[in-house]
Chain A
Amino acid sequence: MQAFLDAFTAALRLVASGDQDLIRIILLSLKVSLSAVCIAALIGIPLGGLIALSRFPGRQALIVMFNALMGLPPVVVGLMVYVVLSRSGPFGVLNLLFTPTAMIIAQVILVLPIIVSLTRQTLHSLWLEYRETLQSVAATPAQCLAAVLWDGRFMLITAILVGLGRAIAEVGAVMIVGGNIDNVTRVMTTAIALEASKGDLALALGLGFILLMISMALNILAHGLTAFGEPERRS
């Protein structure tokens, strides 16, 4: 228990000191993961909606594929993005390796399957509920998708939060494509790994507590928005 107490004190001391490095690391973590989740949501929600509402050959295979990709190990994604962005790789000329952009790309790949799958699941049940009504008023497919997306918008927050959880917690991918460079690509999780490898377990755990608090704050914010915007579904 002493270890947790030490970690907690370390976390409090860090937060209280307003350490510039810590603030920079937190901001970069937020920037990378929130960007990745937003991009994944902008692609994944319409894609998940399309899969939920339409019928086409290979649809089942696509659903299974996205479900399976939810379990993709971050290290594997990191290696794939590394190979592509390396100077010896096809997109090496872009000079993106070891930049926050590379980290965002890796996290988009990690988060996209989660958002697609959860969106499809959520909208599928809504679609079963609304299909007859929408078809009776001869709504076009685009109108159907828009209606279902709009009505499910608050439920989709869960999909986005699960994606954010994956993005902000993973270390394997950002370590490889970001390189954990001080002041440039160091985020919360890679900083935790670094402190652990220095044997400073209290500081590593303390940073872990801070990450947990940030994650809590984001979830409270999202929960508040949902409850505020959709009072009749509040539970």
Chain B
Amino acid sequence: MLLGPMVDLARAVAARLIATALIVVAATAFSTQSSGAEPSYITVASTTSTQNSGLFRHILPKFTETSGIEVRVVAVGTGAAIRLARSGDADVLLVHHKASEEKFVAEGFGVRRYPVMFNDFVIVGPSADPARSAREPDAAKALVMIARVGAAFVSRGDNSGTHKREVEFWAMGGIDPSAASGTWYRQTGSGMGATLNVGAAMGAYALSDRSTWLSFANKRDLRVLVEGDPRLRNEYGVILISKKRHGHVKSREGQAFIDWLRSVAGRSAINGFRIGGKRLFTAIE
């Protein structure tokens, strides 16, 4: 008897519920902007190696604690990070390709480049090592050996700092691997970790920064084969974006971050970041 009105009531309730849910969610959408006075923050354009290794997670809370400034990191390749900074979409640039960084400053986009820290690049490859490049002290020569046997090599191919350095090493050996792109030379066009995933699956050689390599969890049969060539040094520089180019840049907060990175506290935070007891980055005084 009562079933008819009950069903009608239930339907009405269901319709109300949907309408209310819509309104509530729409309201939260607009609340994203008005979430009150935000604490001051800066945006740092940086590379995947600094983020994937976990360095930022280790050092940034320490900086925020002393300064009250939140640091928002957008981690892309060096090439993409520089493009973001040129467009004014970041306050500070922290990347690792000195020539590109100096060009960025010379063009007036950056105030000044400060060296922050370094680690090194390594050539990783399958333990079978078909190119017999293991322990070759000359990194360029090792690449020549890989090219000679046509062993699979995965390249970032994304205009990142690591990719640019890899291209330089090929040039030192007098080899143009792009001619072999798609055969033994594979360009993934993605980040270091993604490239290592491909390399691990294919049993291919790759150039990697040591910190990404050490924190990378899917190594499978890959291991470090070539290291120690002084030219494999990988230096990170930090640059404040010029207020003359982009008036909205948070110069004071950005410079505070740079000063902290170079201070005793910042340097010891960088040096104190370890994975499995190994130091990943060494601060530059």
Contact = CB atoms under 8 A, between A and B. Distances in A.
B72 A184 contact: yes
Interface string B179-198: 00000000000111110110
Contact of A229 (B11, B22, B191, B194): B11
Q: Which of A92, A197, A225 has the most CB of B within 10 A?
A: A197
A41 to B, nearest CB: 7
B215 interface: yes
A121 interface: no
B217 A99 contact: no
A42 B22 CA distance: 9
B74 interface: yes
B149 interface: no
Give the dominant DSSP class at B's interface.
Answer: helix
A171 to B, nearest CB: 13
B246 interface: yes
Contacts of A54: none
Interface in A79-125: 86-89, 92, 95, 97-101, 104
> Looking at chain B, what size class is its interface with the partner chain?
35 or more
> Looking at chain A, what size class is its interface with the partner chain?
35 or more
Interface stretch (A67-75, A130-138, A139-147, A174-182): A174-182
A39 B17 contact: no
Contacts of B43: 98
Contacts of A198: 52, 193, 215-217
A197 B11 CA distance: 47
A158 B216 CA distance: 41
Nearest to A156: B18
Nearest to A230: B11
Interface string B74-113: 1100000000000111000000000000000000000000
A45 to B, nearest CB: 10
B32 A88 contact: no
A201 B218 contact: yes
B130 to A, nearest CB: 23
B264 interface: no
A41 B216 CA distance: 42
Interface in B6-35: 7, 10-11, 14-15, 17-18, 22, 25-26, 28-29, 32-33
Contacts of A87: 87-89, 246, 248
Interface string B147-172: 00000000000000000000000000
B48 interface: yes
A151 to B, nearest CB: 12
Interface string A29-57: 00100111111011000000000000000
A18 interface: no
A98 B200 CA distance: 32
B223 interface: no
A35 B25 contact: yes
Interface of B: 7, 10-11, 14-15, 17-18, 22, 25-26, 28-29, 32-33, 43, 48, 51-52, 56-57, 72-75, 87-89, 190-194, 196-197, 200, 215-219, 246, 248
8 contacts: A38-B25, A38-B29, A41-B22, A89-B87, A182-B56, A184-B72, A197-B191, A199-B219
Given A86-B87, A225-B17, 12 more contacts: A34-B28, A86-B89, A87-B89, A99-B32, A181-B73, A184-B72, A198-B217, A199-B197, A228-B10, A228-B14, A229-B15, A230-B11
